[in-house]
């Protein structure tokens, strides 16, 4: 392939103020349209390039930081500001932090997770009455908080759950509204600052009260390493928050899809089907709908050399809905996972890939699979106005408007 030093093509000539406005209005449609029109390597602005081909996605994500990094020095303190967390670290510091957490996410611990998930579903279903209309995202958020905190911190979140949920909601509002500088006293910014203060207080209590009872949780592992209080707090905050909204979103999308596909709903009790359905839901509605990296050396993609300092965007939303890798890509077809995966390994990356791939991927998939399977075995959730459901692309791809009427089977 000949390599050119010209910028890749893109909407608006790849130069971006108009693009920024179009992107803010409809990010999912904008990214999908850009790839459809300009191909797999698209300039979105002078320093922003979207890569849609699985070959490039694999090269970017599997890189160990020689050519691309997750966070450059300049952008390390993101809007959510937990600078000491593994997720916001690079290099040797990141490796040490990732190694410290790895044992808490091993598959041997997932039996405990399943237990917490089943118990959580039993309680949730017990709190519903037959014929009641529920806000599915709200219910799934409470379940994900309960199960997530039990798995990560070894305890139910209790009243601290409110502070956590509040902080996540504030971050979602911030990231789904057009960006304004953080120092502006907008309602969204004020909300976020207040929520993060409440979150700090809740985490301080959780850490102070924590007792290691040998369960091998992430919080046990963190405290055993004797880091500073701020380091434990930042790590715990990002673990609880990254596992919470994404998993609640995945669960809600799956229940929405099952509501629209009764034939799939009826198969949820079959061996392997719930897992396939969970994978298919995060294919169609990937909670992490865009992932980014920054080049630290010139990087070649699609015959172009992208200079150091280019922000690379990879979008599971765009690539997961590409007919080249997923025939009948727009349809919910869990069976495709029973017959093997997509034709290209990196065409499916809801949890990223490579060394910085999601540490909670197995936990999240198992949680979604078990909770959805248990729910389908116990109740029927009849969708209310499914045609009004929309994705809200914030930091995670949130489902808006998923409501259902609970139908409990008659006893006897």
Contact 15, 45 (CB under 8 A): yes
Task: Confirm or reject binding of residue 281 to ligand HEM (CB under 6 A).
Answer: no
As measured in angstroms, the least distance from the Cβ of 288 to ligand HEM is 4
Tokens of 164: 């956590």
Task: Confirm or reject binding of residue 203 to ligand HEM (CB under 6 A).
Answer: no
Burial of 35 per CB tally in 10 Å (0-12, 13-18, 19+): buried
Which one of the spans 45-53, 283-291, 323-331, 404-412 is the region binding ligand HEM (CB under 6 A)? 283-291
Tokens of 273: 């089907």
Task: Confirm or reject binding of residue 246 to ligand HEM (CB under 6 A).
Answer: yes
Task: Confirm or reject binding of residue 174 to ligand HEM (CB under 6 A).
Answer: no
Which one of the spans 29-37, 188-196, 257-265, 353-361 is the region binding ligand HEM (CB under 6 A)? 353-361
As measured in angstroms, the least distance from the Cβ of 221 to ligand HEM is 12
Among 86, 219, 255, 404, binds ligand HEM (CB under 6 A): 86
Task: Confirm or reject binding of residue 241 to ligand HEM (CB under 6 A).
Answer: no
Q: Sign of the C-alpha dihedral, residues 273, 276, 282, 283? A: negative
The residues that bridge with 82 in the sheet, in sequence order, are none
Residues in the chain: 412
Angle at which helices 229-260 and 187-209 cross, to 10°: 110
Contact 245, 362 (CB under 8 A): no
Exposure string over 195-223, b if 16+ CB within 10 A, otherwise e: bbebbeebbeebbeebeeeeeebbbbbbb
Angstrom distances, CA of residue 250 to CA of 120, 146, 338 = 17, 16, 19
Chain centre to alpha carbon of residue 134: 23
Nearer to ligand HEM, 150 or 247 (CB): 247
As measured in angstroms, the least distance from the Cβ of 87 to ligand HEM is 4
Among 247, 265, 295, 310, binds ligand HEM (CB under 6 A): 247
Nearer to ligand HEM, 100 or 408 (CB): 100
Task: Confirm or reject binding of residue 137 to ligand HEM (CB under 6 A).
Answer: no
Among 34, 52, 113, 152, binds ligand HEM (CB under 6 A): 152
Task: Confirm or reject binding of residue 356 to ligand HEM (CB under 6 A).
Answer: yes
The values of phi and psi at residue 286, to 5°, are: -70, 115
State the DSSP string of 223-252: HHT---HHHHHHHHHHHHHHHHHHHHHHHH
Q: H/E element holding 127?
A: helix 110-127
Nearer to ligand HEM, 77 or 407 (CB): 77
Nearer to ligand HEM, 9 or 391 (CB): 391
How far is the C-alpha of 69 from the C-alpha of 73, rounded, in Å? 10
The residues that bridge with 216 in the sheet, in sequence order, are none
Strand order in the sheet with 380-384: 133-135, 403-407, 380-384
Contact 120, 371 (CB under 8 A): yes
Nearer to ligand HEM, 72 or 238 (CB): 238
| Cβ-proximal residue to ligand HEM, closest one | 360
Contact 227, 259 (CB under 8 A): no
Nearer to ligand HEM, 195 or 315 (CB): 315
As measured in angstroms, the least distance from the Cβ of 331 to ligand HEM is 21
Task: Confirm or reject binding of residue 304 to ligand HEM (CB under 6 A).
Answer: no
Task: Confirm or reject binding of residue 256 to ligand HEM (CB under 6 A).
Answer: no
Among 14, 154, 243, 342, binds ligand HEM (CB under 6 A): 243
As measured in angstroms, the least distance from the Cβ of 104 to ligand HEM is 9
Count of residues near ligand HEM by CB under 6 A:
26
Among 291, 301, 370, 376, binds ligand HEM (CB under 6 A): 291
Task: Confirm or reject binding of residue 352 to ligand HEM (CB under 6 A).
Answer: yes
Summarize as ranges the residues that interact with ligand HEM (CB under 6 A): 70, 86-87, 98, 152, 238-239, 242-243, 246-247, 250, 282, 287-288, 291, 350-352, 356-360, 363-364
């Amino acid at each position: 392939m000949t390599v050119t030093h010209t910028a890749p093509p893109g909407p608006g000539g790849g130069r971006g103020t108009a693009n920024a406005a179009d992107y803010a209005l409809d990010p999912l449609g904008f990214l999908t349209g850009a790839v459809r029109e300009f191909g797999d390597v698209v300039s979105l602005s002078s320093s922003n390039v979207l890569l849609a081909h699985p070959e490039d996605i694999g090269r970017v994500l599997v890189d160990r930081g020689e050519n691309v990094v997750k966070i450059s020095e300049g952008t390390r303190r993101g809007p959510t500001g937990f600078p000491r967390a593994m997720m916001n670290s690079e290099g040797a510091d990141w490796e040490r932090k990732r190694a410290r957490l790895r044992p808490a996410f091993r598959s041997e611990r997932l039996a405990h997770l399943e237990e917490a998930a089943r118990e959580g579903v039993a309680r949730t279903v017990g709190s519903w009455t037959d014929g009641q209309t529920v806000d599915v995202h709200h219910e799934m958020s409470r379940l994900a908080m309960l199960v997530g905190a039990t798995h990560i911190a070894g305890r139910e979140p209790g009243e601290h759950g409110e502070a956590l949920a509040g902080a996540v909601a504030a971050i979602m509002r911030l990231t789904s509204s057009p960006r304004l500088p953080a120092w502006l006293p907008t309602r969204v910014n004020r909300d976020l600052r207040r929520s993060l203060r409440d979150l700090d207080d809740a985490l301080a209590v959780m850490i102070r009260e924590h007792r290691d009872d040998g369960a091998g949780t992430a919080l046990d592992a963190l405290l055993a390493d004797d880091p500073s209080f701020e380091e434990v707090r930042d790590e715990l905050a990002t673990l609880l928050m990254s596992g919470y909204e994404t998993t609640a979103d995945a669960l809600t999308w799956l229940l929405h899809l099952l509501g629209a596909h009764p034939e799939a709903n009826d198969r949820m009790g079959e061996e392997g089907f719930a897992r396939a359905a969970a994978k298919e839901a995060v294919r169609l509605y990937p909670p992490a709908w865009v992932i980014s990296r920054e080049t630290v050396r010139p990087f070649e993609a699609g015959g172009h050399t992208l200079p150091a300092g280019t922000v690379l965007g990879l979008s599971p939303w765009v690539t997961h809905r590409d007919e080249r890798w997923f025939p009948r890509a727009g349809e919910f077809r869990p069976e495709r996972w029973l017959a093997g995966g997509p034709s290209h390994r990196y065409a499916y990356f809801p949890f990223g890939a490579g060394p910085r791939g999601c540490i909670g991927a197995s936990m999240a998939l198992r949680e979604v699979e078990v909770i959805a399977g248990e729910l389908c075995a116990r109740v029927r959730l009849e969708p209310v106005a499914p045609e009004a459901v929309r994705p809200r692309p914030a930091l995670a791809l949130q489902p808006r408007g998923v409501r259902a009427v609970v139908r409990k089977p008659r006893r006897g």
